[in-house]
Chain A
Amino acid sequence: MPTAIASCRVFPSIVLSVIAILVSQEVAAGETTPVVGSADKMVSADPIVVNQQKYPVPTKYNEVPLFASQVASGQLPPIEERLPAEPFVVGPGVLNSEEWLDWEVGQYGGTIRTPNLNGGVHELALAMGMTILRAPDQSTRDPLPAIVSSYQISADYSQYTLTIRQGLKWSDGVPLTTEDVRMTWELYADERIYPSFPRKVRTLGRGDGIPGKLTIIDDLTFIITFEASYGQFVAELSSWIPDYTLLFRPAHFIKQFHADYTEITDIQPVLDELQINSWEKLVILKDMPHWELYREHSIGVPTLTPWIAETVTSSVIRMVRNPYYWKVDIAGNQLPYVDRVESEVSNHLQAIMLKAASGEYDVMTSYAQVREMPLYRLNAERANIKTVLHGSINNPPILFLNHDFDYQAAGSVWQRLVTDPRFGSAIACAIDKEDVNNTLYFGLYTLDGYTRENYDPQTANTLLDQIGMNKLDPKGFRTDPDGNRFELRITTAAISPDFLALGELLKAYFEQVGLRTTLDVIGSQLFGQRMNANQLMATIHWSDEPIWGPGISEDYWPSSKGHWAPMSEQYFATNGDSGRHPPDYLQKFFNLHVARKVVPPQSPEGEALFADIVDWFSRHYATIWPVGRMTVPTVYNADLGNVIKAGYPFDRALDYGMEQLFFRPSK
C-alpha cells in the first residue's frame, strides 16, 4: 500500500507579502528590482522536504530477457547492479493519476512503432522526457523525487537541496554524480558555449535574474540557491520541457570534446570526421537537449532516458532499451516494458494517417484529429487498432488581438479600440461558438475558454455602435470612430488546417456585424517574423493553455505563439532599454506574471494568481476564444496495455509515459 508522502505543506506567510508587493507594483518590474526573500526573513516556516516514494522498493528484480544473454556472458552486469540502490518505483497513480489510468503490471518485450513527420519533435521527444521530479499526468503539484531521491525546498522557495538517487547510472553505466551538475553549470557560464546563462536557472526565470548559485555538498547532494523566492523552479524541475538536461549533462562524455579537458589534437579527428570546424561547436552539438536524443548525432550520447538511439537514417529511427534505466514497477520489472521503439520518418501527413488506419503504427498521438475519426473507426477491426478520445495540452486556435499594434502612431484608431473592452467584447459576441464547434470539430470541443461572451450579434452591434463605429462606408461596412475606412486584418499561417477554416469563419462572423475583415495567410517563417516585428494586428494560433496552470508552459506570454503585446514584452525583457513602456493595464499583467513565479504554480497562492491572470485575459481580450478545449484521438494498437482512459484532460499520455506501455499477448 502506498506510503504517505512526507512533505510539509505549511505555506510560508513571508511569500504572501512578497506577492502583494509584486502585484501592486505600478512600474516596470525591472526598474526597481525588489529585494525579496532574503535569508534573514526566512525564519518561521518550515522547509518542504520530500524523500520517500509512493511505493516500497521491490525486494527482487526480474532480469530483462533482451539482456539475458549479455548478462550471462558478462557483457552486462546483472539487473541488481544496473539499477540504483533504490530505483524509482512505478505503480498505480505514479505516472498517471488513478482517476485516468487503471495501471497494471506489464510484461517485457515487443516493439512500439510510431510515425514521425519530417523528423520533427513528436512522440519520441515526449517519450524521452525524463523529469527530475515527477508528478502524475501533466501536473507539477507535490512531485515525487525521480532522478533525485530526495529534495528540500526552503520555505521561501529560494533554496533547493537535491540528492541524486544513489547508484543511478547514465546509459553507458557511468554513475550520475554532482560532477555532472557542476559541468552543466560550467557550460552555462562559459560564453564560448552558451552566450548567456539560461533563463530558467536564474532567479524568477528572468533573463536578467542572477544565476542560481550551485553548492556541491558531496558526490550526490547539491544546493541551488537563488537570490530571491523562485517557486516556479519546482515546476521547471517537474516539467518535460527543460527536463533532466536542465541540471544534468554527462560530464565524462562532454569532457572528451572539450579543449579545457582534452588535448585539441585528440579532438581534431572527431572534428574532421563530422566536418565541424571548432571544438566549441562540437561541444554544443554533443551537449544536446533531450528532444534531440533520437537524432543521428545522439548515438553514443549517455542519457537517462528509457530508450537510446541505435540507428538513425533519414527514413527511420530505431531505439533500444537503456540497460541502466532507473525505474522499476512494483513487481520488480525494469522499465520500459517494451524493448524497442521505432519511428518511421515520413514527409507526408496523409501517408502517416493512412498507415495509422492500416495498423502500421502502435502509437499515434500527435497527428490525429477528430476529423479523421471515421477513417480510424471504419478500419479498427481490420487493422487491430483502437482510438481513445481525450483532451489535449493544446487548445484550439484562438484569436490574438495585438495590444501593441500601431502604438507609436499618435491617436491610433487601433489603440483606442483595442484598449476599449467594449470592442473586444463585441468581437467575442460576434463569434458563433456553437457553429464553430459543430462545423470544424464535430461538436466535441467545449465552449468555455477565457472568453466569457456567448454568441450574441445584437449585443455586438450595440457595443460597436456605442464606441462610435456606427457609420457605414459605401460598401456597407462600419467605419472607425473617426468615420474612416476600418479593416480588421487577421493574419495566420497554414500551420494546422483548422487555422484557415477558422479564419474564414471568423471573417464571416465579423462581417455579419459590419466589420470589414481580411484574412491573410502567409508562410510560417514569415508569420513568425511579422509577429516579432509587431506588424500584425490580429493573429490566429493555438497555445498550450491546458498546461499553463501547472506552470509547464508559459505561452500566454505576450510574444509567444500569438504575439499580443510584443513591444511591451521587449520593454519588460530589456528592462526598459527598448520596446514600449507598457500602459498600466499591460503592466498589471507583467506584475501578475512575475508574482506568480514566486510560488510553485500549483500551490494555493499560485493557483489564485493564475486565476487572476485568466481573469485579466477575460477582461482585456488579448485572446479571444472561438471554442474552449479540444478533444483529440490517439490511435493505438489494440493489444497495448496501460492506455489512458477516454476523457483524460490532456493528451500525450501514450508518449509521455511510453515506458509503462506493454503488449498483451494477443488472443
Chain B
Amino acid sequence: MSTASKPTFLTALSEHYIRWKRERSQRLQERLYYASQRELVWHAFKKHRLALVALIILTVLYTVSIGADFFAPFSPLNRFQNFNDAPPTRIHLITREGKLSWPFVYQTVRVRNTETFKYEYRENTTHRHIIRLLVKTEPYKLLKVIPIQHKFFGLSDRHVPLLLFGSDRLGRDVFSRILFAGRISLFIGFGGVMVTFILGSILGGISGYYGGLVDEIIQRIIEVLISVPNIPIWIALSAALPRDWGTIKIYFAITLILAVRGWTGLARVVRGRIISLREEEFALAAKAAGAGDWRIIFTHLLPAFISYLIVHITLAIPGMILGETALSFLGLGIKPPAVSWGTLLQDAQDITVLANYPWLLIPSLFVVLTILMFNFVGDGLRDAADPYASR
C-alpha cells in the first residue's frame, strides 16, 4: 500500500492504520470461523447501519416508556386546569435582557377569544422558570418498586405547566401521555405476536409434519379465517367482550382479536418449510433413531428456521401497532381513561384538531417512528439471519 516515495508522518500513520485494520479484520475472520450462529447473526446485523440505529432508537423508546414514571414530567391523568388545548410551551434560551440562559419557560395565561371561539395563551414574562434535569418531586415508586423522588426533567415549580407537546382537551400533558401510552402500544404487539407465534408455529408445524387429514382440517380452518373480512370480526368480538373486564383484560383481549388471523400467515409458511425439511436427512435420521414426532418437530425441525420466525415476528409487530390504532379509529379499541397511542390518535382524528390543535397529532409521529424502526430492524435481521449464505 505504501508506494509513496517520501515517507512522511501522515503516510506512516495511514500505513499503521491500514495494518491495524487488516489485522483486526483477520482477527474477526478467525473469530467468525469459530463463532456460534448467534454471534454470526449479531455480527452480520451490526454491519447493517440503519438496522443498528433503528435498534438503538427502539431501545430508547421502550426504555422511556417503561420508565415513563421517571421520564415523563407528569402523570398521564394530571390536569392543568385552565390550560386545555394549550399549544406546546415555548422554550426560551435568551432572557428579556438579551442574555443567554439555561432553557426556561414563562408561565402562560389563558385568554378567551370570543371572536374566534378559541383560547389563546399569553406569556407572563415577569418570572422565568428554568428547565432542570433530575428535578425533585413528591416521592414515588419507579416501576412500583424503586423509591425515587426525582423526575428526569421539569420545572422546580410543579404547578407551572411545562407542555413540550402541548396539552389535550382536558389540559393534560401530551408528551407525558405519549410516554405512558407507549406502555400499552409498544407492548400490544408482543401479546399479539406471541399468540401468532405459538399458534402459527404449532399448528403450522403439525399441519406440515403429519399431513393427511390433520393437515386438511387445519388448512380449511385457516382458509375460513382468512376469508372472513377483518372488520366485522373485530366488531363482533369487541362487542362481545364482558363488561366487568378491566382495562388490562380488555387490552389482552384486543391483542387476541388482532392475532385471530395473524397466525394463519405464519402457519402457512411453517407448514411449507416443514414439508420440505421433514424429507431431509437429519429429520429422517432422527426418525430412524426412534425420536418421537413432537420431539422431531420441536427439537429438530423448528430450530432449523427459527431465524425466519424471528424476522417474521419483528415485521409483524408494526402491523399490530397499526391494528391497535385502527381499532381505536373504529371506536373498538382501548377506552379512556386508559391511554394508548390509539386512544391519543382517536382524540386527534377530527377536523377541529387538524385546524386548531395540530400538536395532538404528535402521537402519530411516534407510531410512524416505531413502525419504521421495527421495519429497519426486521430488514437487518433478515439479511443477518442467514450468516453463512453468500459471504
Residues of A near any B CB (own CB < 8 A): 349-350, 353-354, 357, 370-375, 377-378, 432, 435, 438-440, 442-443, 494, 500-501, 503-505, 507-508, 519-523, 525-526, 530, 535
Cβ B239 vs Cβ A523 within 8 A: yes
A507 and B79 alpha carbons, distance in the complex (Å): 12
Cβ B77 vs Cβ A508 within 8 A: yes
A354 and B351 alpha carbons, distance in the complex (Å): 7
Chain A neighbourhood of B119, CB < 8 A: 442
For A357, A375, A503, A519, the residue with the greatest tally of chain B CB atoms inside 10 Å of its CB is A375
The 4 closest A-B pairs by CB, nearest first: A373-B117, A521-B335, A439-B84, A374-B118
Given A494-B331, A520-B243, decide whether A501 and B169 contact each other with a Cβ distance below 8 A: yes
- CB closest chain-A residue, reference B119: A442
Cβ B118 vs Cβ A504 within 8 A: no
Cβ B352 vs Cβ A374 within 8 A: yes
- CB closest chain-B residue, reference A351: B351
Cβ B82 vs Cβ A372 within 8 A: no
Task: List 5 A-B residue pairs with CB atoms under 8 Å apart, sorted by A's residue number.
Answer: A374-B355, A377-B117, A438-B82, A503-B337, A505-B170
* Other 20 A-B pairs with CB < 8 A, given A375-B352, A439-B169, A522-B243: A350-B350, A350-B351, A354-B351, A374-B118, A375-B351, A375-B356, A377-B117, A432-B81, A435-B81, A438-B82, A439-B81, A439-B170, A440-B169, A503-B337, A508-B77, A508-B79, A520-B335, A521-B335, A523-B238, A535-B243
B14 beta carbon closer than 8 Å to chain A? no
Given A374-B118, A374-B356, A535-B243, decide whether A353 and B351 contact each other with a Cβ distance below 8 A: yes
Cβ B336 vs Cβ A504 within 8 A: yes
A505 and B335 alpha carbons, distance in the complex (Å): 15
Chain B neighbourhood of A503, CB < 8 A: 336-337
Interface of chain B: mostly helix, strand, loop or mixed: loop
Cβ A374 vs Cβ B112 within 8 A: no
A438 and B110 alpha carbons, distance in the complex (Å): 11
Cβ A378 vs Cβ B169 within 8 A: no
* B:184-233 near A, CB below 8 Å: none
Cβ B170 vs Cβ A504 within 8 A: yes
Cβ B117 vs Cβ A526 within 8 A: no
Looking at the assembled complex, report how far the CB atom of A535 sits from the nearest CB atom of chain B, in whole angstroms. 7
Chain A neighbourhood of B337, CB < 8 A: 503-504, 507, 519
Looking at the assembled complex, report how far the CB atom of B115 sits from the nearest CB atom of chain A, in whole angstroms. 8
- CB closest chain-B residue, reference A354: B351
Residues of B near any A CB (own CB < 8 A): 77, 79, 81-82, 84, 112, 115-119, 169-171, 238-239, 243, 331, 335-337, 349-352, 355-356
Given A442-B117, A504-B336, A504-B337, decide whether A378 and B352 contact each other with a Cβ distance below 8 A: no
Cβ B336 vs Cβ A519 within 8 A: yes
Chain B neighbourhood of A439, CB < 8 A: 81, 84, 169-171
A507 and B335 alpha carbons, distance in the complex (Å): 14
For B82, B116, B239, B351, the residue with the greatest tally of chain A CB atoms inside 10 Å of its CB is B351
Chain A neighbourhood of B116, CB < 8 A: 374, 377-378
Cβ B112 vs Cβ A443 within 8 A: yes
Cβ A501 vs Cβ B243 within 8 A: no
A375 and B82 alpha carbons, distance in the complex (Å): 22
Chain A neighbourhood of B331, CB < 8 A: 494
Chain B neighbourhood of A525, CB < 8 A: 239
Cβ A374 vs Cβ B171 within 8 A: no
For B238, B331, B335, the residue with the greatest tally of chain A CB atoms inside 10 Å of its CB is B335
Chain A neighbourhood of B352, CB < 8 A: 353, 371-372, 374-375
Cβ A526 vs Cβ B350 within 8 A: no
Chain B neighbourhood of A349, CB < 8 A: 350
Looking at the assembled complex, report how far the CB atom of A526 sits from the nearest CB atom of chain B, in whole angstroms. 7
A521 and B239 alpha carbons, distance in the complex (Å): 12
A440 and B170 alpha carbons, distance in the complex (Å): 8
A554 and B349 alpha carbons, distance in the complex (Å): 35
Looking at the assembled complex, report how far the CB atom of B339 sits from the nearest CB atom of chain A, in whole angstroms. 11
Chain B neighbourhood of A371, CB < 8 A: 352
Chain B neighbourhood of A378, CB < 8 A: 116, 355
A372 and B349 alpha carbons, distance in the complex (Å): 13
A504 and B77 alpha carbons, distance in the complex (Å): 9
A377 and B352 alpha carbons, distance in the complex (Å): 12
Looking at the assembled complex, report how far the CB atom of A117 sits from the nearest CB atom of chain B, in whole angstroms. 14
Looking at the assembled complex, report how far the CB atom of B116 sits from the nearest CB atom of chain A, in whole angstroms. 5
A371 and B154 alpha carbons, distance in the complex (Å): 31
Chain A neighbourhood of B117, CB < 8 A: 370, 373-374, 377, 442
Chain B neighbourhood of A438, CB < 8 A: 82, 84, 112
A520 and B241 alpha carbons, distance in the complex (Å): 13
- CB closest chain-B residue, reference A500: B336
Chain B neighbourhood of A522, CB < 8 A: 243, 335
Cβ B239 vs Cβ A442 within 8 A: no
A374 and B355 alpha carbons, distance in the complex (Å): 9
A444 and B238 alpha carbons, distance in the complex (Å): 37
Looking at the assembled complex, report how far the CB atom of A147 sits from the nearest CB atom of chain B, in whole angstroms. 41
